[in-house]
Amino acid sequence: MSPVSGLGERDGPAGRVGPPDGGGSDDGALLARLRVRRASGFTLDVTLTAASGTTVAVLGPNGAGKTTLLRALAGLQPVDTGRISLDGLVLDDPTEGIFVPAQRRTVGMVFQDYLLFPHLSARDNVAFGLRCRGVPRAAARAAALRWLETFGLAEFAARRPGALSGGQAQRVALARALAAGPKLLLLDEPLAALDAATRLAVRGDLRRHLSGFGGPSVLVTHDPIEAMVLADHVVIIEAGRVVQQGPPAEVARRPRTDYVARLVGLNLYRGEAEAGVVRLPGGGTLTVADSAITGPVLAALRPSAVMLGVVEPHGSARNTLAGRVTGLELLGDRARVAVDTNPALLADVTPAALAELRLEPGSRVWASFKATDIETYPDEAL
């Protein structure tokens, strides 16, 4: 097919972690392989694909390059090398001398703090994109009003952004981006500026609108729950590079880096597997259920699968480790206990168990967990 479709195949890491691509068609799809060097010396080097009608979440810590990625996709920042194409159309390719600026990209963007124009009413904010595309004022306003209606905001049409609540402003910003008829939707931390209660409601809304949007969407966030709920595919970047990508459930089950493991709340160990035993660099070992796997592996363990006791357990658990409590943290209905066993562990117990065992920092404990609770998978460099 076109050189564009070849690009995705060539650059998708091992072709294994690409998003569902709707039967191999590139209609409307976003294909991006880009490298952006910033003056600070930071380099973003990312390959990203998103099929029509799917949402890709880009997850990463602050400073990982998430916003730079969105700006490059939006056309606000040219790439140094690489190629961005959307719906078969090349938007940015320095080797061919192509750079389509933001105003000609038909890319909608929802900014983190919305950036609604403060001097325009909600309706005129939504009508702005249509006016820029040559729609007469009356028609643009009527269309804007219909958009606001679908977002349940018709009664706020005449309000200035300053008089809108955070949740309303967020929805106006989404309506404004969608009203311009984009082929690609970019969302930069769309829920970060909202308080927890509003976030839940707006997240549900956002999910509905994202699934109604026909083109690909890219969502940047540092909130794993947001990514899991809203996205079909998760791309995790750290320090400007993709460290892991895949369906949300896969990422949650088999994290590849410590950052991802922390995000999804798992204990993660890197080691060498042989005959059902994983040897860790620190000298510890884990007994795992998969005796066939060999070589470099990652082993993930849910904190809730770890049992703690003050006497050495003699049960079916194949892994038994002794150590001291180094930290305690209450997380809602459970307590997360950090233990300095070899390897170090996080274990979740109920507050009642915590009280019964009289655990406090420095307490000696035994930690045990079953071999079958450890998820073992090959540690492949991306």
Partner 1 sequence: MSRIFTAGRLRRPCSRVPAPSAGPAPGPARPGGRPRGRARRRIGGRVPVPLAAAGGIALAFLLLPLAGLLVRVPWRDLPELLAEPEVREALRLSLLTASIATVLSLAVGVPLAWLLARADFPGRGLLRAVITVPLVLPPVVGGVALLLAFGRRGIVGRYLDAWFGITLPFTTAGVVVAEAFVAMPFLIVAVEGALRSADRRFEDASATLGASRWVTFRRVTLPMIAPSLGAGAVLCWARALGEFGATITFAGNFPGTTQTMPLAVYLALETDPDAATALSLVLLVVAVVVLALLRDRWLRPGTTL
Task: Give me the residues that bind partner 1 (CB under 8 A), please.
Answer: 71, 74-76, 101-109, 111, 115, 117-120, 128-129, 132-133, 176-177, 180, 186
Q: Are 162 and 120 in contact (CB under 8 A)?
A: no
Between 118 and 283, CB nearer to partner 1: 118
Give least dist CB 176 to partner 1, A: 7
CA dihedral of residues 233, 34, 68, 250 (deg, nearest 10): 20
Between 31 and 144, CB nearer to partner 1: 144
Give least dist CB 74 to partner 1, A: 5
Rounded CA-CA distance 313/323 in Å is 13
For CA atoms 357, 358, 361, 363, give the dihedral sign.
Answer: negative
φ, ψ at 366 (rounded to 5°): -110, 130
Give least dist CB 83 to partner 1, A: 20
Give least dist CB 251 to partner 1, A: 29
Between 157 and 236, CB nearer to partner 1: 157
Between 187 and 359, CB nearer to partner 1: 187
Give least dist CB 267 to partner 1, A: 40
- Give me 140's structure tokens: 């643009």
Between 107 and 299, CB nearer to partner 1: 107
Between 16 and 104, CB nearer to partner 1: 104
Give least dist CB 106 to partner 1, A: 7
CA 338 to each of CA 49, 185, 229, 301: distance values in angstroms, whole numbers, following the listed order: 38, 41, 28, 14
297-335 as b/e, with b when 16 or more CB fall inside 10 Å? bbbbbbbbbbbbeeeeeeeebbbbbebebeeeeeeeebb
- Let me know the angle formed at the C-alpha of 115 by 112 and 118, rounded to the nearest 5 degrees: 150
Give least dist CB 97 to partner 1, A: 20
CA 158 to each of CA 131, 161, 202, 203, 292: distance values in angstroms, whole numbers, following the listed order: 17, 10, 21, 25, 66
Give least dist CB 73 to partner 1, A: 10
Q: Are 351 and 335 in contact (CB under 8 A)?
A: yes
Between 124 and 375, CB nearer to partner 1: 124
Between 104 and 358, CB nearer to partner 1: 104
Q: Could you give the 3-state DSSP secondary structure of residue 204?
A: helix
Between 28 and 129, CB nearer to partner 1: 129
Between 77 and 376, CB nearer to partner 1: 77
Q: Are 190 and 110 in contact (CB under 8 A)?
A: yes
Give least dist CB 211 to partner 1, A: 22
φ, ψ at 114 (rounded to 5°): 70, -45
Q: Among 222, 226, 218, 220, which Cα is nearest to 54's?
A: 218
Give least dist CB 122 to partner 1, A: 14
CA 11 to each of CA 58, 83, 97: distance values in angstroms, whole numbers, following the listed order: 18, 11, 21
Q: Among 367, 68, 382, 371, which Cα is nearest to 255's?
A: 382
Q: Among 194, 149, 199, 204, which Cα is nearest to 175's?
A: 149
